[in-house]
């Protein structure tokens, strides 16, 4: 399973194009301050972890849900059941 950080896509869909714009909106809409460098890193790199407060501020600012910020790509042929090896070898 892969998790995709979609902040840049969500920003673009809201006509927010730069770290400076996002930083200003975070302050205006959510009362949340991050350094310009921190905002830039959030936009450019998939984070290893995201604080809940940061996630809430991003969602408030961009008027989105966490589901929009994270894309989850799951393998299609996942089975939780182990294959029966006796049948596949022709044993009974």
> How many residues are given for the chain?
92
Residue 16's closest CA among 58, 71, 72, 70? 58
pTM reported for the whole predicted model: 0.73
Which residues constitute the domain of residue 31?
1-69
Query: What total number of domains does the chain contain?
Result: 1
What pLDDT digit, counting tens, does each position of 7-48 carry?
Answer: 999 999 999 999 999 999 999 999 999 999 999 999 999 888
Whether 91 is in a domain gets the answer no
Q: Is residue 30 part of a domain?
A: yes
CB 23, CB 39: distance < 8 Å: yes
Bridge partners, 4 (sequence order): 71
Helix, strand, coil shares, percent, the chain, to 5 = 50, 10, 40
Contacts made by residues 77-83, CB under 8 angstroms, sequence distance 24+: none
Q: What is the pLDDT of residues 51-63, one digit of tens each?
A: 999 999 999 999 9
């Amino acid at each position: 399973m892969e998790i995709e950080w979609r902040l840049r896509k969500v920003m673009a869909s809201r006509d927010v194009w730069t770290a400076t714009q996002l930083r200003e909106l975070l302050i205006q809409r959510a009362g949340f301050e991050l350094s310009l460098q921190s905002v830039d890193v959030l936009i450019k790199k998939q984070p290893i972890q995201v604080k809940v407060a940061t996630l809430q501020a991003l969602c408030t600012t961009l008027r989105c849900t966490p589901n929009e910020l994270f894309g989850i790509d799951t393998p299609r042929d996942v089975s939780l059941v182990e294959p029966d090896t006796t049948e596949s070898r022709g044993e009974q």
